Amino acid sequence: MSKPKGEKAKALKLPKKEKAVKENLVVFAMRMRVEERDLIHRAAGPAKATKFVRAAALAAANQDSKAFEELTAQAKSNLK
Interval 36-63: pLDDT, tens: 999 999 999 989 999 999 999 999 999 9
Give the pLDDT of residue 70: 96
For 80, residues 6+ apart whose C-beta sits below 8 A from its C-beta are: none
Percent of the chain with pLDDT over 90: 68
Instruction: Determine how many CB atoms are found less than 10 A away from the CB of residue 71.
Output: 19
Q: pTM of the predicted model, to two decimals?
A: 0.68
Is the pLDDT score of 6 beyond 60? Answer: no
For 45, residues 6+ apart whose C-beta sits below 8 A from its C-beta are: 52, 74, 78
CA distance 30 to 39: 15
Give the pLDDT of residue 20: 80
Give the pLDDT of residue 64: 97
